[in-house]
Amino acid sequence: MVENSPNRVQSVDRALLILETLSNYDMLSLMELSEKVHLHKATTHRLVNSLLENGYIEKNPLTKQYKISLKLFQIGNRRVQNIDFLNVAKSMIRQLSLDLNQTVHLVVEDNEEVLYIDKHDPSGNENRLSSKIGKTAPMYVTAVGKAILATKSNEEIRAIWNKTDIQPFTKHTITSLDAFMMEIEKVRQKGYAIDNEENEYGVLCIGTVFSSYKDLAAGAISISIPATDADDEKKAIYIEKIIDTSNKISRLLGQF
């Protein structure tokens, strides 16, 4: 986060901090909230009342505690519903998941991260992997993120890398920019990206982008498979299937 920017509004920053803090808890009292955001109780109370009046938080009349409302979800959901490819891609990733009996994800780029907007697990256990609908992840550590980055210029990739907090999620995570740029070049040449247990131990992901007439990389899809089930023969099948699916989505989006 940039400090002391002339474009920042302190009261807005503080209100957003309150929302982000409340989102991490079931409920908080005014005093608890004040301590967690490091603001005076009177200041916190003023901001909380404004958020309450605008419907962004709710207050329990019995306990006097506060919790975040679903208004932000409703606002974000409107954006998702307005994305052209949502219904097209959702049906296709579900079919791909059933055909391969593996978990498939649908993501879009959001604020230089990937945002999971759909996930289908044929086992019905949606919590089997750490990914969740509505969750974000760094681009450098995911197959879908690499696939999206590969459509950008090297200058854009370096700028995103420099703004990202690069951390090793596993011992396989690429944390060197030079090594990462070599990886991106492989993605460009092959037409797909691989996350080889870089984000989560025991999980290998294969990712590809799809395009629309509006955007070179409208979104991306990935197949997540157990690393123990990722021999060369199976990977070749998965790669062929995911490229075919992303191409079909792109062709359909060209009609919108």
Q: With 60 as the cut, is the pLDDT of residue 236 above it?
A: yes
Non-local (6+) Cβ contacts of 59 within 8 A are: 52, 65, 66
pLDDT digits 0-9 by tens, 97-110? 999 999 999 999 98
Cα 208 to Cα 131: distance, rounded to the nearest angstrom: 17
pLDDT digits 0-9 by tens, 71-80? 888 787 666 6
pLDDT digits 0-9 by tens, 142-186? 999 999 999 999 999 999 999 999 999 999 999 999 999 999 999
Q: What is the mean pLDDT of the chain?
A: 88
pLDDT digits 0-9 by tens, 14-29? 999 999 999 999 999 9
pTM, rounded to two decimals:
0.69
pLDDT digits 0-9 by tens, 24-44? 999 999 999 999 999 999 999
Cα 88 to Cα 256: distance, rounded to the nearest angstrom: 11
Domains of the chain: 10-74 (1.10.10.10), 83-253 (3.30.450.40)
Order of all β-strands in the sheet with 103-110: 136-138, 113-120, 103-110, 219-226, 203-210, 193-196
Cα 58 to Cα 225: distance, rounded to the nearest angstrom: 40
Q: With 50 as the cut, is the pLDDT of residue 256 above it?
A: no
Q: With 50 as the cut, is the pLDDT of residue 1 above it?
A: no
Cα 118 to Cα 143: distance, rounded to the nearest angstrom: 16
Scan for tokens 């079931």, then name that residue. 26
